[in-house]
A and B are shown apart, each in its own frame.
Chain A
């Protein structure tokens, strides 16, 4: 059976669309370029965002930052924190009101977050794969 040129074009377009959607639904973890680590264990990432790990392997300070809400934040808390955005928020409410810690600085927009990570030594954050990255480096999560 031969496929018409139109059919091939439609299939390729569909594949490209599916690929772009699946990429868009993911999350890219970024760090300030001065961070020596190029990959991170997922459990360690969770512990960083829980405030339990405060130093990079080089002993420099970890500065985690996050998004206030939105699909990227939801994907990050679900896929990487193993929880929901509301439970993650509750976790930090308990820490704040019992004096156990200060939550990561949060941003309304991904561009603001990227800008902060680029200018803050030790900073780590997450954005959608579609967000332009300037002055930061991607971190591989194992």
Chain B
């Protein structure tokens, strides 16, 4: 492992430890401050959960590394503590450890931790690491017992983003208000930065090296002159950063019982830096002959702004919940889109079934895969469609088991690598089992 990687990881771990210490001091002060310690103890609320899963795909390592072989590196454990030390003020922290293939590796980190001052019901203020309201279900993604399905629809809630896009470190204003005969509204606006806890995860390596922006950044890093090309040998010291993010969401609870609509808008910037070891080839522009080829260490950097928009609807009626959401992600010249519709049936408090269909389009201007520049690229890399069926049994009020099957068409959410290029498997499947204990 390079020094850059070690440094990045150490800085990330140190940041989390610093945050843990700050929160320990805040809780400690609350415990020993006269007048508030009694209330603090009375209201202390502790919860937790532990999940363990198994996951296998018929083709492609998707979501978890080594998924084609089947993997049980698929677990989560969390514990949260909250208290109201004084009226209107709530503080809390949740520590979480996850293992998702080669991501997480059960390192304990802060999932969320913030202070929340609710001045009025229509205006409150939070500061710290705060879960972001993106669509209806982002804030509950880690919490397996909330839903029947094991995975939320990947077209809208990509597991690739889960490590860093769940919570922002900054501030938030929020509230809710009655809207008379038209129901009520909940709203939130936030701003801060995203922390990438695992920058040396292979996701970044794959995302980095397979993108057009990377090619452009390498060419920018190379010197000018004759026609150039490069043969990439290694990328080291990848450092993804999300220096700022700002967003807002609104949920309208209509006067029709069980019917609600939501919209979320998020914008921000990311910056990627790394070193690329590559053979820089200088070619004679007239003859096309290779004049020289030297191994160079190139400083590669690019930055881009992005915009995400979510639109959501959910209707609960008797034993059924119908939900549909769409996500649009815009980044410079690229727009991708995800959509799903899901029906959940809860005939008893013990059993439930859920099914959804989902579609992800990486480039909305090339929905059918006919417009790729690369003639060898398969058309089914232009979409990923899934039909999913999930079942859940609550064995006790604190223990549940789930099973899930995905029939997939296309590989639009799999990074376009040489191995993927050689594959002809348009149709493939995913299977998952999971059990969760919670209190």
Interface residues of A (CB under 8 A from B): 43, 47, 52-55, 61, 82-87, 90, 93-94, 96-103
Query: Does B346 lie within 8 Å of A86, measured CB to CB?
Result: yes
Instruction: Point out the residues of chain B lying under 8 angstroms from A101, CB to CB.
Output: 90
Residue of B nearest to A103 (CB): B45
Query: Does B349 lie within 8 Å of A102, measured CB to CB?
Result: no
Query: Does A100 lie within 8 Å of B45, measured CB to CB?
Result: no
Residue of B nearest to A82 (CB): B257
Residues 302-343 of chain B, each 1 if its beta carbon lies under 8 Å from chain A, else 0 = 000000000000001000000000000000000000000000
Instruction: Point out the residues of chain B lying under 8 angstroms from A100, CB to CB.
Output: 131, 139
* Candidates A52, A83, A94; contact of B140 at CB < 8 Å: A94
Query: Does A99 lie within 8 Å of B145, measured CB to CB?
Result: no
Interface residues of B (CB under 8 A from A): 43, 45, 47, 49, 78, 80, 82, 84, 87, 90, 92, 94, 112-114, 116, 118, 120-121, 130-131, 139-140, 142-143, 145-146, 176, 178, 184, 186, 257-258, 316, 346, 349, 394, 438
Q: Say yes or no: A54-B139 contact (C-beta < 8 A), given A61-B87, A85-B349, A97-B49.
A: no
Instruction: Point out the residues of chain A lying under 8 angstroms from B116, CB to CB.
Output: 99
Query: Does A97 lie within 8 Å of B258, measured CB to CB?
Result: no
Query: Does B114 lie within 8 Å of A99, measured CB to CB?
Result: yes
Q: Tell me, rounded to whole Å, the shortest Cβ–Cβ distance linking B46 to chain A.
A: 10
Q: Tell me, rounded to whole Å, the shortest Cβ–Cβ distance linking B155 to chain A.
A: 22
Instruction: Point out the residues of chain B lying under 8 angstroms from A98, CB to CB.
Output: 112, 131, 139-140, 143
12 inter-chain pairs at a CB distance below 8 angstroms, sorted by A residue, are A47-B176, A47-B178, A53-B121, A61-B87, A85-B349, A90-B145, A93-B143, A96-B45, A96-B80, A97-B49, A99-B92, A99-B94
User: What is the CA–CA distance of A47 and B186 in the complex, to the nearest angstrom?
Assistant: 12
- Max count, chain A CB within 10 A of own CB: residue among B80, B114, B140, B346: B140
* Candidates B43, B114, B142, B346; contact of A97 at CB < 8 Å: B142
Q: Which 3 A-B pairs have the closest CB atoms?
A: A98-B139, A86-B349, A97-B143
Q: Say yes or no: A102-B257 contact (C-beta < 8 A), given A93-B438, A97-B142.
A: no
User: What is the CA–CA distance of A87 and B140 in the complex, to the nearest angstrom?
Assistant: 14
Q: Say yes or no: A55-B121 contact (C-beta < 8 A), given A86-B349, A96-B82, A98-B112.
A: yes
Q: Say yes or no: A102-B45 contact (C-beta < 8 A), given A87-B316, A97-B140.
A: yes
Instruction: Point out the residues of chain A lying under 8 angstroms from B90, CB to CB.
Output: 101-102
Q: Tell me, rounded to whole Å, the shortest Cβ–Cβ distance linking B360 to chain A.
A: 25
Residue of A nearest to B49 (CB): A97
Q: Say yes or no: A99-B140 contact (C-beta < 8 A), given A47-B184, A87-B316, A90-B146.
A: no
User: What is the CA–CA distance of A86 and B146 in the complex, to the nearest angstrom?
Assistant: 10
User: What is the CA–CA distance of A98 and B316 in the complex, to the nearest angstrom?
Assistant: 22
Query: Does B87 lie within 8 Å of A93, measured CB to CB?
Result: no
Q: Tell me, rounded to whole Å, the shortest Cβ–Cβ distance linking A142 to chain B.
A: 14
Query: Does A94 lie within 8 Å of B316, measured CB to CB?
Result: no
Query: Does A97 lie within 8 Å of B316, measured CB to CB?
Result: no
Instruction: Point out the residues of chain A lying under 8 angstroms from B438, CB to CB.
Output: 93
Instruction: Point out the residues of chain A lying under 8 angstroms from B84, CB to CB.
Output: 102
Instruction: Point out the residues of chain A lying under 8 angstroms from B178, CB to CB.
Output: 43, 47
Q: Tell me, rounded to whole Å, the shortest Cβ–Cβ distance linking B49 to chain A.
A: 7
Query: Does B184 lie within 8 Å of A99, measured CB to CB?
Result: no
